Structure 1
């Protein structure tokens, strides 16, 4: 079984179209089709089936693509072992939330362009649940997700998750409304704004879980009137009098919005890298993970 043909199949499982595979591997769509047809004859199993005007992998094709990850990673590891100067090569598909993409992934993309041009990134913005669903469907190679220490997330046993960084969060309020604050600490801050409207996340429940937990400890139930997943939009809603909401303490926001520290209990976001177990040894993905961890 020719590993080059396995590479064609694996890229098709990653990218979804023969044209995209041809573009990434520097060949033609007809060559991609021919090589996968040969692979099907070698394995004795149909690997593709019609999907409208396109094709998709059959169950046998998806299983072989799973094996291809391990086989090609082993071949690449052997090549690197014999030639430590060899450059990783391939397309790494990443889905992650906006803050992690801006804070961690974009610097990595810049370093890859300058130092490792054979490794490319395909980036899409998704909230944690969406990113993990795409990871489990093998639509991506790496998910950047988050949770809060007060609202810990659970993941499938087949997912390997590692903390990338943590950052403190506070309560974003209009700068002029800080006069409502009397006393320090998280619960004092929450009590000061108990009568205000609250802003939640439109695509992830973790923020709302944190707010409801702390509000319950402060003796009230928050009234959520707006939901947004963009931090910039949350700040704009706060400035427009739309309520109060969680914002990171270490990020610059609008001058008319103040982010009040939440301490005792603290509120900390934890960002994670998530991969399918056994996949992190693939050299292009291993390189991206290493660069992310180095910061």
Structure 2
């Protein structure tokens, strides 16, 4: 059923004649009659009956006019809710890696609670491939993902991304083995070529970076252990199980030394990813705007 036809029927129930409806809606009497006749065929029951030289609504017509009040109100509410200029109302479903949730999304949850109480977010912690799969399946509205400058990740053509913050990464090694190790990233990897490397158990990005560096260095540590938590990676390093890539700007535990990786530099790059065509939805548009604002404010 077209909402325009429901509006004609509702106006007829209020004004009592097709002529009055035509005048009120700047159309013709014949157009009003034809559209209501089409509506009657759609619902499968007569909506009008003769009343002298005029017509009146049948019981079914009156009942449908009552439904029209609710239906048209809901349509207007939806239009207002989705209009780009309206105050955002709704729930944005997000998925992202732990650091992005902690660094980027949680502060906005608190901010929106005060500034936009009608906007809510659901948060799901996932590695990039998992988040992107949920986004492609339309199970989330926004994915916070990452890749590395040395191992760019391809993006599904149905998605679009906004670059956010970046962070330098280093090689975490047992502190007692760090003495005398210096030089660029290739020299660092060469120094630990005989050691095992601790990779990420839910994402291959670390391994891709290691593969690039070891190929440039001619040799380097091989992935033997995997862990999902950075804290666990550090524990495994202290226990002597190997070395691992760690954020250079993150506090680390005693017993771990972070060796800078430069020439080539290793940087994690974070992105906010959405489905194409969704950026005008007010709640999602606001969330993207705030994420980009935080990126720009972090630029020196």
Settle same-fold status: TM greater than 0.5: yes
Unpaired runs of 5+ residues, structure 1, are 4-41, 44-70
Unpaired runs of 5+ residues, structure 2, are 4-41, 44-75, 295-300
Task: String of CA shifts for 1:16-47, please: whole Å, max 9, x gaps.
Answer: xxxxxxxxxxxxxxxxxxxxxxxxxx99xxxx
CA distance in structure 2 between the partners assigned to 1:229 and 1:121 by the alignment:
24
Alignment coverage as a number of residue pairs: 224
Q: Secondary structure at the match of 1:179?
A: coil
Tell me the equivalent position of 2:269.
Answer: 270
Task: String of CA shifts for 1:36-60, please: whole Å, max 9, x gaps.
Answer: xxxxxx99xxxxxxxxxxxxxxxxx
Structure 1 runs (4+) deviating above 3 angstroms are 71-78
Greater displacement, 284-293 / 150-159: 284-293
CA contact (8 A) 1:73 1:281 kept: no
Kindly report which structure 2 residues correspond to 1:173-252, keeping only aligned pairs within 5 A, or say none.
173-179=173-179, 181=181, 183-252=182-251
Task: String of CA shifts for 1:227-277, please: whole Å, max 9, x gaps.
Answer: 112111111111111110101111111122111110000001110000000
Q: Give the alignment's TM-score, normalised by structure 1.
A: 0.71
Q: Give the alignment's TM-score, normalised by structure 2.
A: 0.70
Q: Secondary structure at the match of 2:88?
A: coil
Q: Does 1:96 align with 2:82?
A: no
CA contact (8 A) 2:192 2:221 kept: no
CA distance in structure 1 between the partners assigned to 2:249 and 2:293 by the alignment:
19
CA contact (8 A) 1:73 1:283 kept: no
Q: Does 1:106 align with 2:106?
A: yes
CA contact (8 A) 1:215 1:222 kept: yes
Aligned-pair distance for 1:290? 1.3
Task: String of CA shifts for 1:58-89, please: whole Å, max 9, x gaps.
Answer: xxxxxxxxxxxxx99864454x64xxxx5211
Tell me the equivalent position of 1:118.
Answer: 118
Task: String of CA shifts for 1:197-219, please: whole Å, max 9, x gaps.
Answer: 10111111111010111012112
Tell me the equivalent position of 2:283.
Answer: 284
Task: String of CA shifts for 1:85-114, please: whole Å, max 9, x gaps.
Answer: x52110110000111111111111111122
Higher-Rg structure is 2
Q: Secondary structure at the match of 2:271?
A: strand
Aligned-pair distance for 1:162? 1.2
Aligned-pair distance for 1:128? 0.6
Alignment RMSD (CA, Å): 2.2
